[in-house]
Amino acid sequence: MNKTLAWWLERATLVFVSTIVLFPIGWMFLTAFKTPLDAYSVSLNFTPTLENFFTVFSDPWNLGSMVLNSVIVAGVTVLIAVPCASLAAYAFSRFKRMRGRKFLFFLVLSTQFIPAIVIVLPFFLMFRTLGLLDTRIALIIVNLAIVTPFVIWMIKGFIDAIPLDSEEAAMIDGASRLRVIKDIVAPMAAPGILTSSIFCFILTWNEFLFSLILTRRDAVTLPVGLVSFRTERGDLWELMSAAGVMITVPIFIMALLIQKHFTRGMTAGAVK
């Protein structure tokens, strides 16, 4: 009897939590296909339309440029952060005799505890002096500062789980350190590197605060673009939802395509 009750309580809890999590997302998807009149109605009886998706790509919203900015900023951030973080993670994992290694690693991780609102003003002043305000370069630099320490910490866990025997054997045979990293460590840590890349892309893709402060027109990204749908008529929920779908769908598709590697990556670094 107790096992049956526990089984039902577990299922009921899962359904309840899933409903809370999925309801706002489902409602956003529904609203994206509603007319302006239907968007303010709670009725599920409406005629779907694709007009909102065409509207957000036309004047004055021009969502296309924001999509391009988000793709470039997130893509370049991943391409720079992951290789650099992988080499740094390898150094932290393998060079145990390096003087100040633990302190330096702690210093890198400590940057994750600094609230973003505290450092946004120094970044703003620096980029204004350099003439980089409202540029993709500024956003890439900021996002690199945000995600690189996190990626270093994450990849280091996977490298720690790789045995040293294969590396030592290769180096005895004459392989250089870079050759060992390329041919042995990188393939074995691939699930972790892939997972870190995904997290890096998601964090950059969804970044809002720095994009809001550092951009005005030319380098506006998708999350900041949602703010533009607040007009004198009020919040344009149907257009905001359509833009929200544009932000959410790529992440969902990416998660589905790499689900197998994603699961392996999340568990591989936990066992040594």
- For 76, counting Cβ atoms within 10 Å of its Cβ (0-12 exposed, 13-18 middle, 19+ buried), the class is middle
Residues of the chain with pLDDT under 70: 1, 257-272
Strand partners, 230: 235
Class in CATH terms, 62-268 = mainly alpha
pLDDT at 43: 81
What is the rounded distance in angstroms from the CA atom of residue 192 to the CA atom of residue 200? 12
**Residue 264, SS3 per DSSP:** helix
Give residue 85's pLDDT: 94
* 143/69 Cα distance (integer angstroms): 13
pLDDT of residue 113: 85
State the pLDDT at residue 271: 45
Q: How many angstroms separate the CA atoms of 193 and 154, rounded?
A: 8
CA atoms in the 13 A half-sphere facing the CB of 100 = 3
234 — phi, psi (to 5°)?
A: 110, -165
In a 13 Å sphere around the CA of 153, the CA atoms on its Cβ side amount to: 17
State the residue for tokens 């809001």: 212
Strand partners, 235: 230
**Single-letter code of the amino acid located at 167:** E
**Residue 119: both structure tokens together:** 């450092």
